[in-house]
């Protein structure tokens, strides 16, 4: 049921715009999404006129809510380490949509799964959508000629993010090319080395499945500021996720104490 061959592949400019296509393909009027998620996603959903229903997650990133059989549910494979949660949810709910922006190497599951290229590769934009439903939409092609081997410093990264925030849904530019070496094993090896170094202070249960290839090493620690300072002294820029969450929410610890160490 979840074989890649079952899906149609749509290549768009940004992962957030994959949701536009999914909402149209399945005529979704209401979507359940987690509180702990990149805000550009729910802002984009709002612009599509789709009603949002937020849900909480527990310490293992699993939903704290039981959904109805026909509910449409968006679940992110957080940090690329939650393939087991995705597999359970896909077997339990028929209308699961998987946000694999942080899990490029994860297999597509549910009714649709989407992936962000720039989070894993030296490209400025690009997204893959695997969907079983088809929307009657003809997006224009992105004709911009993007840089090859885009490896920005922090200022260039922010400039690119601000530029992308202005972009409408487009078909992916033909100038976006993935490298021949996808660096899957290198990322796994770096993850293992970081876990050996920081596992003793990490409160997360990091039991990867054979299909998990992490996007970062997520370290939930009692002293996140100290860890961030240590990493910055090594020249490592750390981006914290995401917008502030109320302190009484179960996800507040992720917001306040989780340090995602880049791979």
Tokens coding 13: 């400019």
Tell me the CA end-to-end span of the chain in Å, nearest whole number.
32
* Region 145-163 average pLDDT: 82
Let me know: does 242 contact 38? Beta carbons within 8 Å. yes
Spell out the domains of the chain, with CATH numbers in brackets: 4-164 (3.40.640.10), 184-262 (3.90.1150.10)
* Region 236-257 average pLDDT: 89
Q: Which has more pLDDT, 49 or 14?
A: 14
Q: What is the length of the chain?
A: 263
Residue 127: name the closest of 179, 165, 178 by CA.
Answer: 178
Is a pLDDT exceeding 70 seen at residue 2? no
**pLDDT bucket at 191, cuts 50 / 70 / 90:** very high
How many whole angstroms separate alpha carbon 36 and alpha carbon 58? 11
* pTM across the whole model: 0.91
């Amino acid at each position: 049921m979840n074989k890649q061959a079952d899906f149609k592949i749509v290549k768009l400019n940004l992962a957030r715009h994959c949701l536009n296509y999914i909402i149209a393909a399945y005529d979704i009027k209401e979507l359940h999404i987690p509180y702990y998620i990149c805000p550009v996603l729910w802002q984009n959903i709002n612009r599509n006129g789709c009603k949002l229903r937020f849900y909480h997650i527990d310490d293992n990133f699993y939903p704290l809510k039981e959904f109805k059989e026909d509910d449409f549910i968006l679940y992110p494979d957080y940090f690329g380490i939650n393939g087991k949660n995705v597999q359970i949810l896909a077997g339990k709910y028929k209308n699961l949509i998987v946000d694999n922006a942080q899990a490029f190497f994860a297999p597509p599951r549910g009714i649709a799964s989407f992936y962000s290229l720039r989070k894993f590769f030296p490209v400025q934009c690009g997204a893959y959508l695997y969907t079983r439903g088809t929307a009657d939409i003809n997006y224009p092609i992105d004709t911009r000629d993007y840089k090859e081997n885009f490896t920005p410093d922090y200022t260039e990264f922010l400039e690119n993010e601000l530029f992308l925030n202005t972009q409408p849904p487009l078909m992916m530019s033909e100038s976006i090319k993935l490298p021949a070496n996808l660096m899957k094993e290198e990322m796994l090896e770096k993850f293992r080395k970081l876990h050996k170094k920081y596992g003793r202070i990490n409160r997360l249960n990091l039991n990867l499945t054979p299909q998990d290839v992490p996007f970062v090493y997520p370290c939930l620690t009692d002293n996140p500021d100290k860890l961030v300072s240590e990493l910055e002294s090594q020249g490592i820029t750390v981006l914290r996720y995401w917008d502030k969450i109320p302190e009484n929410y179960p996800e507040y610890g992720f917001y306040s104490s989780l340090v995602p160490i880049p791979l």
